[in-house]
Structure 1
Amino acid sequence: MFILGLTGSVGMGKSATAKMFAEEGVPVSDADAVVHRLYEGEAVAPIEAAFPGTTAGGKVDRMKLGERVIGQPEEMRRLEAIVHPLVAAARDAFLAAAERSGAPVAVLDIPLLYETGGDTLCDAVVVVSAPPEMQRERVLARPGMTEAKFTAILVKQTPDAEKRARADFVVDTSQGFDVARAQVRDILVKVATMPKRRS
């Protein structure tokens, strides 16, 4: 089975592109959705133990947890030590199920793919991109988004130009969904004959 990594900076259209892969029948694992599930399941008890008062009603209170860890590198590392192994286990279970189902390709949708070294798990990487002014417009249109928040998110992400330079494929979402969907289909045709890169 060929593993495609899917990534892209905030506001580039990565979620829409992930949906296009799913519509083509490709199993897609969404790392953000996995974390959301964990924050309502098996991560709750260890997070409450490490950060008392950050859970309520059997769920992690993301606001409270954020207040405890954002800007605190030591606390952030403690949180990652809890969450990362659970995310890795969920990813491995997803890949095993996709393999069992006979899927020729599976997609790992990971926002911080390059930042976390997740690209080493993939045979090829797809970066979703759009011009900076379009990205900015999309992100600032989101409810509760501010210039400061947008800047803070960008600082944590590998620059788009660097991602594009490292990518095997780029999906450009600036020309509308039909063009992007054609690019997704084209990628699936190409990976069918590409060698696997994972060691």
Structure 2
Amino acid sequence: MKVVGLTGGIASGKSTVVSTIVSLDIPVIDCDKLARIVVEPTHPAYKKLVAHFGVEILQNQEMGQPLDRYKFGTIIFPNPAQRKVANSIIHPAVRDEILKRLFKLWIKGTSLVVIDVPLLLEGELWRIVSEVIVVYCPPETQLARIKARDGLSEEDALARINAQRPLIEKVDYADHVIQNISDLDSLKQSTIEVMNKIKPNPIWTILGYFPPFTFLMASWVIAKRHLKGDPRKTKSKV
């Protein structure tokens, strides 16, 4: 089974890309949804968050109540140390949920799966996927779309953009770039073309069900990423 990572940025057009991929009957694991699942009261990560941050991050400040996302955000976003703690709890929990879903898809005989990860690069998950797809649009287009879509001032729109890694930096990690610089039809067509390029050979899919070959394939992907290194760090040495 070939596992591909997909990322982009706010207002880059990634949602359209995802819906196009789904229309091709290619399963997509949505990590935003998983991040919401792991902070539900029934999940172990919920208890770890409450143990560190206290019941103040919960609605009505009562154990068993859902996470108060606004309150939680006011605690972790201005404070890098607290954000690091939150990520150290949430990210491993999300990775576990990803692995569970990948295993189920592998059992079903799925040949290709896409993991939609906004923090694919920041969370270092790019190191364990076969290929990375980045949805890109120019910064000025990104800004105009956010202002029009969300009715924000330019200052507020820029603040949201600047809270993420610049799209142009994400392109350095990409094996495939889907350019969103025209209309929706062009974006959908570009997505289809990229997915056709990365579609795995059926023979490799069959071989992937033999444990020794599966291990070799996974090891090769990880080794290839390790040898390639972090593009941004490599670039800074030049």
Report the equivalent of 1:54: 57
Distance across 2 between alignment mates of 1:140 and 1:161: 20
Distance across 2 between alignment mates of 1:79 and 1:193: 36
Q: Residue 5 of structure 2 contacts residue 115 of structure 2 at CA under 8 Å; is this kept in 1? A: yes
Q: Residue 115 of structure 1 contacts residue 157 of structure 1 at CA under 8 Å; is this kept in 2? A: no
Q: Residue 16 of structure 2 contacts residue 188 of structure 2 at CA under 8 Å; is this kept in 1? A: no
> What RMSD, in angstroms, separates the aligned Cα atoms of the two structures?
2.2
Give the C-alpha shift of residue 27 in structure 1: 1.0
Distance across 1 between alignment mates of 2:49 and 2:147: 31
SS in 2 for 1:60: coil
| TM-score normalized by the length of structure 2 | 0.75
Q: Residue 2 of structure 2 contacts residue 200 of structure 2 at CA under 8 Å; is this kept in 1? A: no
Distance across 2 between alignment mates of 1:9 and 1:33: 17
Give the alignment partner of residue 198 of structure 1, picking from 199, 221, 230: 221
Report the equivalent of 2:93: 86
Matched residue count: 199
**Residue type matched to 1:137 in 2?**
A
Give the C-alpha shift of residue 14 in structure 1: 0.9
Give the C-alpha shift of residue 142 in structure 1: 4.0
**Residue type matched to 1:54 in 2?**
I
Q: Aligned in 2, Cα 1:141/1:36: closer, same or farther, shift over 3 Å?
A: farther
Give the C-alpha shift of residue 109 in structure 1: 0.6
Give the C-alpha shift of residue 193 in structure 1: 5.0
Give the C-alpha shift of residue 69 in structure 1: 1.2
Distance across 2 between alignment mates of 1:78 and 1:164: 28
Report the equivalent of 2:5: 5
Higher relative contact order (CA 8 A, sep 6+): 1
Report the equivalent of 2:227: none
More helix by share: 2
Large movers: runs of 4+ above 4 Å: 193-197
**Residue type matched to 1:23 in 2?**
S
Q: Is residue 128 from structure 1 mapped to residue 135 from structure 2 by the alignment?
A: yes
Q: Which runs of 5+ in 2 are unaligned?
A: 205-216, 223-238
SS in 2 for 1:59: coil
Q: Is residue 66 from structure 1 mapped to residue 73 from structure 2 by the alignment?
A: yes
| TM-score normalized by the length of structure 1 | 0.89
Give % identity: 28
Deviation by residue 1:14-39 (Cα, 9 ceiling, x = unmatched): 12211111111111111111112223
Report the equivalent of 2:195: 188
Distance across 1 between alignment mates of 2:76 and 2:170: 27
Deviation by residue 1:69-108 (Cα, 9 ceiling, x = unmatched): 1121221121112111110101111111121121111111
Q: Residue 44 of structure 1 contacts residue 55 of structure 1 at CA under 8 Å; is this kept in 2? A: no
SS in 1 for 2:100: helix
Give the C-alpha shift of residue 149 in structure 1: 4.1
**Residue type matched to 2:52 in 1?**
A
Q: Residue 28 of structure 1 contacts residue 108 of structure 1 at CA under 8 Å; is this kept in 2? A: yes
Report the equivalent of 1:22: 22
Give the alignment partner of residue 179 of structure 2, picking from 159, 172, 194: 172
**Residue type matched to 1:46 in 2?**
K
Moved more, 53-62 or 82-91: 53-62
Report the equivalent of 1:36: 36
Q: Aligned in 2, Cα 1:103/1:155: closer, same or farther, shift over 3 Å?
A: same
Distance across 1 between alignment mates of 2:20 and 2:116: 12
Q: Aligned in 2, Cα 1:147/1:36: closer, same or farther, shift over 3 Å?
A: farther
